[in-house]
Structure 1
Amino acid sequence: MGKLIRFIPLILFIALGAILFRGLSLNPTELPSALIGKKFPEFALTSVLSESQIMTTADFKPGIKLVNVWGTWCPSCRYEHEYLNKLSKTDRFTIYGLNYDDERVNAAQWLTKLGNPYQFSAFDEEGKLSVNLGVYAAPETFVVDHSNIIRKRYAGPLTPEIWQSEFEPLITQIEADFLASSRHKGNQ
């Protein structure tokens, strides 16, 4: 029994090493989300640019949507902002903003100074929508399909490389699914 006790620290060390090794193999940008496959949460929030303008899910345009969670305090948000401006020039999807944990004046100045890639950017003053989405930091980007179903959650700044590997294939798939569904409905 005495010899067995000597091996307990070694066994614990090996077990801890296995757990840590497993953790290192995980991708921190792939966040599990209970919302994948579910409708985007209903909301009614004011616009970053106008306190009197109320935004809701009814204001989403038909089609694919990217919902980008951002804040002026976030260096990664500033890093990705130029790329979001570039992406906003496409007609394949519409980009919406959700200003997170911020001051409205700072957010409005940011959009005026750096460009506004968003169809609208909602000001989540109380953080309710952010909490409903499970946001824990910024930037985070959600892909929402034609039926307002959340298809992807990505944590971290968007870059051309991330776009090509993570987003482009999904956007293409959503477009193909929608086209096939539209053809199927047309043949009935």
Structure 2
Amino acid sequence: MNRVVLIIPVALFLVIGAFFAWGLTRDPSAIPSQLIDKPLPQFEMAAIEGLDQGFSSDELKKGEVVLLNIFASWCVSCHIEHPFLMQLAKNDTIKIYGLNWKDEPGKGKEWLDRLGNPYTKVGDDYSGRVAVDLGVTGAPETFVIDKQGKVRFRVAMPITEQYWNDTLGPMIEELRGQ
């Protein structure tokens, strides 16, 4: 009886330890999306206050691979990502559409004026409705949209140069070749 009492806590500890060890091998940015390989949900967004043009989902289905980046002026991680997005835009690497998520009117434009605007067009999602349809869990998030307007990949972390070189860049080149 004493042996069983000693074995149960040890066995329980080993099971819990194995579960946590497995969890540490998982990529925390790889949040699955129900939209992968499905058409982008239909939406139409007005421009953020201070800009002329918003955009619709139809604009992202025009035969080229594009990025849809969710950002906000209040988002600390967006500040980390922004210089690299500026680099992509400067080098004309890929068109990036911005979705300004749950930002107070005028704040997104102030932020872009201060840090630069890497976006082809920026839509205002103050209500968060479009983000809900996309399954956004936080900012920044970026969706890779293929030539047919299908969501091919979701990034739930700031895009860095290393992540671009290792993951996104090769994926986008492959999608461009299809």
- For residue 163 of structure 1, report the CA deviation from its aligned partner: 0.5
Q: 1:39 to 1:19 in 2, by over 3 A?
A: same
- Counterpart amino acid of residue 103 in structure 1: E
Which of 102-111 and 55-64 deviates more? 55-64
Residue 46 (structure 1) aligned with residue 46 (structure 2): yes
- For residue 151 of structure 1, report the CA deviation from its aligned partner: 0.8
Contact 2:53 2:122 in 1 (8 A): no
Q: Indicate the structure whose relative CO is greater, using CA pairs within 8 Å and at least 6 residues apart.
A: 2
- The CA distance in 1 between the partners of 2:87 and 2:147, in whole Å, is 22
Residue matched to 2:156:
155
- For residue 158 of structure 1, report the CA deviation from its aligned partner: 1.2
- For residue 40 of structure 1, report the CA deviation from its aligned partner: 0.8
Residue matched to 1:110:
111
Q: 1:52 to 1:66 in 2, by over 3 A?
A: closer
- The CA distance in 1 between the partners of 2:53 and 2:96, in whole Å, is 18
Aligned to 2:90, the other structure's residue is in SS state coil
What percentage of aligned pairs have identical amino acids? 37
- For residue 104 of structure 1, report the CA deviation from its aligned partner: 2.3
Unaligned runs of 5+ in 2: none
- The CA distance in 2 between the partners of 1:165 and 1:134, in whole Å, is 25
TM-score (norm 2): 0.91
- Counterpart amino acid of residue 15 in structure 1: V
Which of 121-130 and 64-73 deviates more? 121-130
TM-score (norm 1): 0.87
Contact 2:98 2:119 in 1 (8 A): yes
Aligned residues: 177
Residue matched to 1:33:
33
- The CA distance in 2 between the partners of 1:75 and 1:132, in whole Å, is 23
Contact 1:64 1:92 in 2 (8 A): no
CA RMSD of aligned residues (A): 1.8
Residue matched to 2:125:
124
Unaligned runs of 5+ in 1: 178-188
User: What's the CA shift string for 1:147-173, capped at 9, x where partnerless?
Assistant: 001111011111111100111110110
The ranges of structure 1 where at least 4 consecutive aligned residues each deviate by more than 6 angstroms after the TM superposition are none
- The CA distance in 2 between the partners of 1:115 and 1:93, in whole Å, is 16
- The CA distance in 2 between the partners of 1:23 and 1:9, in whole Å, is 21
- The CA distance in 2 between the partners of 1:7 and 1:88, in whole Å, is 60
- The CA distance in 2 between the partners of 1:62 and 1:110, in whole Å, is 30
- Counterpart amino acid of residue 48 in structure 1: I
- Counterpart amino acid of residue 30 in structure 2: E
Q: What is the 5 A alignment of 1:5-20?
A: 5-20=5-20
Residue matched to 2:75:
74
